[in-house]
Amino acid sequence: MIDLILISIGLSLDTFALCVAIGSVSKRRLIIALKCGVIFGLFHIMNIGIGWFIGSQIKRLVGDVDHWIAFFLLTYVGINLIVDSLKNHTESRKKDYGSFKTLCICGIATSIDALIVGVTFSFFKMSPVISMGTVGLVVALFSFFGVLIGHSIGILWGKKAGIMGGIILIGLGVKILIEHLFFLR
């Protein structure tokens, strides 16, 4: 169980950073925090489940390109966040980074690694329900609190928080790409 919690925390860190960035430019922090928690938690649950049930087959299908998918999706959202932050501050607040579409794109990008983790879970005798539930709950909590922390940072830093959030997202995409290309072969 301790290993499962540690894996869940590891899967939550990129989502947490993303939620800090989203929270830094969001006005409706509690609603956005709840949406992020639910959507990101569900994407992780879904991908752990898919990985669990499909097992090693999914590793062959997605394992070779998962890092590229995450890189492009996170870079896309990061660039949009930076561009919007560089515009007039009132204009950048009009774009809703807490929209369902944006959160689903981010949910896909941040939960791809959960798909691969689900494959590894399928080799152990752990309950898939407990595995999916633990990962989903931890990701949901990290997402929820990430938005709240990001909102506080956004109030203090204004435009700079949105730019920093975009840089963080692009950095996460680059980190995922570098890890997979050079260290996880």
pLDDT digits (tens, 9 = 90+) for 4-49: 888 888 878 778 888 888 888 777 889 999 999 999 999 999 999 9
Spell 81-101 as b/e; 16+ CB within 10 A means b: bbebbeeeeeebbebbbbeee
Model pLDDT, residue 114: 82
Residues near 154 by beta carbon (within 8 Å), at least 6 away in sequence: 23, 24, 25, 26, 161, 162
Residues near 35 by beta carbon (within 8 Å), at least 6 away in sequence: 98, 100, 103
Residue 94, pLDDT above cutoff 70? no
Residue 63, pLDDT above cutoff 70? no
Kindly state the percentage of the chain with pLDDT values over 90. Answer: 22
Residues near 90 by beta carbon (within 8 Å), at least 6 away in sequence: none
State the maximum Cα–Cα separation within the chain, in Å, rounded to a whole number.
54
Residue 61, pLDDT above cutoff 70? no
Q: Which of 62, 90, 70 is nearest to 18 (CA)?
A: 70
Residue type, 128: P
Contact of 33 with 23, CB cutoff 8 Å:
yes
Mean pLDDT, all residues of the chain? 79
Kindly state the percentage of the chain with pLDDT values over 70. Answer: 79
The 3-state DSSP composition of the chain as helix, strand, coil percent (nearest 5) reads 85, 0, 15
Residue for token pair 């992780």: 44
Q: 69 falls in which pLDDT band (50, 70, 90)?
A: confident
